[in-house]
A and B are shown apart, each in its own frame.
Chain A
Amino acid sequence: MIDIIFNNLFLAIALLIMLIYLLLGVISLVELLEYKRGHRHADFNAMLSSPLSPGITVIAPAYNESKTIIENIKGLSSIHYNNYEIVVVNDGSRDDTLEKIIKEFSLEKVEEELYSTIPTQPVRGVYKSKNKAYSFLTVVDKKNGGKADALNAGINVSRNPYFVGIDVDSVIVPDALLKLAKPFLSYTTKRVVATGGVIRVANSCKIENGQVMQVNVPDKFWARFQIIEYLRSFLMGRMAWSKLNGLLIVSGALGMFDKEVVVQCGGYNSNTVGEDMELIVRMRRYLYEQGIKHRVVYVPDPLCWTEVPDNLKSLQRQRNRWTRGNMDTLLIHRKLFLNPRYGRLGMLGYPFWFFFEWMAPLLEGLGYIFMIYLIIVSAINLHVFLFLLAFVYLFSVSFSFYAVLFDEFTFHRYHRFEHLRRLFLIPFLEPLIYHPLNVYFAIRGNISFFRGNRQWGSMDRKGFDDKSEPKTT
């Protein structure tokens, strides 16, 4: 009897999951096409010269970024926008990050009025340039407190109604602010409180002066797997959740926020490793409790290029952290789970993340163990097993192909035939190699979480310049 229930229950769950993914894919496609068509003639330049364009603060936390900080700041200064400031927060770096910035941009300590709306680690000083050409730059030097704490310090110094949180070592495309700001200015009935853009993989791309000059498919397979994963996640997942107004996350690498709401919610949470997701969930929870209609919007344009782990060790650390951050947020805000008071966030977004992001890898891990057990005791029905395996494998491969197709339909950044040849191989390998590994990392993340690990971990970044030595952040 039990095996009958198991057989049919597992199949029912698997089919339900596939149907949900298919539905999300269809919603994303419709949204992407609508976005693309609606923005074909959008006059973004009008924002560049308009006195009605809101001020935006770009906050870049930096910790031991000495090797790349100058180039990164120069890259940020080429952003197309008329009313923005850059706040670099030196989060107690132990190298000469601060000294290098001071020297390069002729900074001097200023007497800045800090409202300290959000509590942070002590600020040692605020610096501004003596050179008017760099008047857009403010540097905050503070005691180390982590990325969230550094972002909070940046918010405290910010003078604008909106801010963009970035990773200082990511490459932001020049029109990123225009694209991110537009939803804030276009909303009609629901207040837009945060926007995020698509993050793309920068490994092996040619970067010059802080800008992507030539897009390439990474040489290393681990990074290539992540291209497909990111395409799927951003173009097929988050676009749909944006439409459904059930988004729970805006990537920490690039996200724009309504400062007023963030400050009212108390800023980033420094006690979690998933501060980007936690902030969004807290903001949305707060707004639901206040009865304020709101939206978190995803912009499908590729606005940010980031270096992803290209070796197993770094990948494991990153996925471990993501899992812990995810679990932390879901546990902190467990009140949302299937709670109709929180609208689609509580009834759709949160349960999806709970089942698909937290529980699914665990269930899948159990499934692998159960399968091995059945093979050992020869209790497996080989015909049924092979059919279902082939079915799931083909579904997974086709889903990845759809992700590449979505990119082709919209922004086709991988435009050379060579790129496509490299990308076409990945969907066939991914379900066999990369996906099981990710399941394993997620399970490890669960174990680390319950062991009380709250560390960020480190990632070996090679930097975008091939000649530079690898650095650890």
Chain B
Amino acid sequence: MLRRYKAILLFLASLFLLVLLSLFVKQWLLQDTWWLEGYQWIDWMHDIGHFYMNFLSTETGKHFLLGFLFPLLYTSMILTVFNIGFIAFFILFRRWRSINNYVYFSRMREKTEDVLLEYLYGDKDAAMVKLRSLNRRILVKEMVGLRKQIIGSKADQLRSLFYELHLDDFIIRKIKYSRWFNKIMYIDAAQWMLVTRAEDVIEPYQYVTNVYIRNVAQVACISLSPDSAFSFLNVLEYPLPVWHQIILYKSMVLSSVPIPDFYAYLRSDNTTVVLFALNMIRLFSQRGDEEKIIALVSHEDPIVRRNALKVICDLKIYQAMETVKQYFQKETIRNQVNMVHVLSLDKTEETLDFYKTIWIETKPNVRMEILKHIEPALRKKLQDTMPSERGFNETISNIHA
């Protein structure tokens, strides 16, 4: 809740501080003298403000708003002057620091990489001594980076090194206590280094409101607990956007986790989980209770229906034909196009008869899609049976143009 309104709260807090400060400034300006009186380099600020305070007190009728707000405006003005200087200095300082940091971290990274390679392919003992003295954050980053590029025995060796250096304890502590954007990095490290002890810490993050952490935690749990890899899908209240589905799919392909039976999720109350299950069934060509997929042709969500139709088409589920025909007229145009793709699996006279019955009420672009997806012989028949229909002829001429 607080995170959502962070900007507004920050703005209000700044205004409040400004008002508070302006009360002090008002008192300061009302004094004829102050403790730095006579120091020209700073006294001019007081003199100008003091002059205006006196001047506006004589003009209260004309400039009552300015008179009332003057201390606030004058405070903002002073702050602004300092601010401009501060920002300019800060930008230059940050630039200088970032250049130095870049050089430092590049050197550190190179050094870490060299030592890691020495450990994997050279003198282990010497490398081990050096590794213990390196920055752990950089070490974790580099080890995870390297782990993503190698497989086999060297990957196992790298993982043992990770434990030997007690980096597992380090990342578990970091997952618990660091800020949310750093947690992401350490959860990712736990996944790649298979730190199973971290699972208990990561598991609750699968259900948090922060989408970035939620996604990385779900992916991590797939690798860390293969037995209950997708259990979060049963209880997930938040939507599972396509982006998360892409990341989950990638981690499934890369890991050796057995692919679960996605048919089990087709009746989930969470529509996005159903979509994910349909996508995975299609991509992994998973066979199962096809009736469950056919039932989704009449789902209330058009995107679920569209995805169900794609699965039917890809898996060639012939039993779905009657249901598809039954719901054809009630569908959106985009889904009707998908239905045409499904019906193109069935190249019989029955389909032709079906098209004849729905032809007049069908939109031109769907008709064109129908013509593209039927056998040339059937197309000819369709043309012959309805030669007088104007829209049909236009469509035909368009497709042959």
Contact = CB atoms under 8 A, between A and B. Distances in A.
Interface string A2-18: 01100110011001000
Contacts of A46: 246-247, 250
B55 A383 contact: yes
B10 A8 contact: no
Interface stretch (A271-279, A302-310, A325-333, A401-409): A401-409
A52 B365 contact: no
Interface stretch (A25-33, A249-257, A440-448): A25-33
B188 interface: yes
A291 interface: no
A397 B86 CA distance: 13
Q: Which residue, of A29, A41, A54, A243, has the highest number of chain B Cβ atoms within 10 A? A: A41
A290 interface: no
Nearest to B400: A111
B87 A384 contact: no
Interface string B1-19: 0000011101100100000
B81 interface: yes
Interface in A271-327: none
B10 A394 contact: no
B189 to A, nearest CB: 10
A53 interface: yes
A46 B62 CA distance: 65
Contacts of A427: 84
Given A394-B84, A398-B84, A26 B10 contact: yes
A186 B188 contact: no
A405 B188 contact: no
B401 A401 contact: no
Given A3-B62, A8-B64, A401-B84, A189 B247 contact: no
Interface string B132-149: 000000000000000000
A186 B77 CA distance: 42
A22 B10 CA distance: 11
A405 B92 CA distance: 10
Contacts of B216: 41
Contact of A185 (B65, B246, B250): B246
Given A115-B365, A394-B80, A420 B92 contact: yes
B259 interface: no
B358 interface: no
B300 to A, nearest CB: 15
B31 interface: no
B258 interface: no
Interface residue tally of chain A, by bracket?
Answer: 35 or more
Contacts of B11: 22-23, 26-27
B43 to A, nearest CB: 18
A369 interface: no
Contacts of A78: none
Nearest to A46: B250
Contacts of B8: 23, 27
Nearest to A404: B91
A113 B398 contact: yes
B241 to A, nearest CB: 5
Contacts of B84: 394, 397-398, 401, 427
Contacts of B212: 38, 42
B77 A52 contact: no
A72 B398 CA distance: 32
Contacts of A38: 181, 211-212
Interface of B: 6-8, 10-11, 14, 52, 55, 59, 61-66, 69, 73, 76-77, 80-81, 83-84, 87-88, 90-92, 94-95, 98, 180-181, 184-185, 188, 211-212, 216, 238-239, 241-247, 249-250, 272, 279, 283, 334, 364-365, 368, 372, 398-401
27 contacts: A8-B66, A11-B69, A26-B7, A26-B14, A46-B246, A46-B250, A47-B246, A53-B246, A111-B401, A113-B399, A115-B364, A115-B365, A184-B242, A185-B243, A188-B211, A188-B239, A188-B272, A243-B7, A383-B52, A383-B55, A384-B59, A384-B63, A384-B66, A397-B84, A401-B83, A402-B87, A408-B91
Interface of A: 3-4, 7-8, 11-12, 15, 22-23, 26-27, 29-31, 37-38, 40-43, 46-47, 49-54, 111, 113-115, 117, 182, 184-189, 243, 260, 381, 383-384, 387-388, 390-391, 394-395, 397-398, 401-402, 404-405, 408, 412, 415, 417, 420, 424, 427
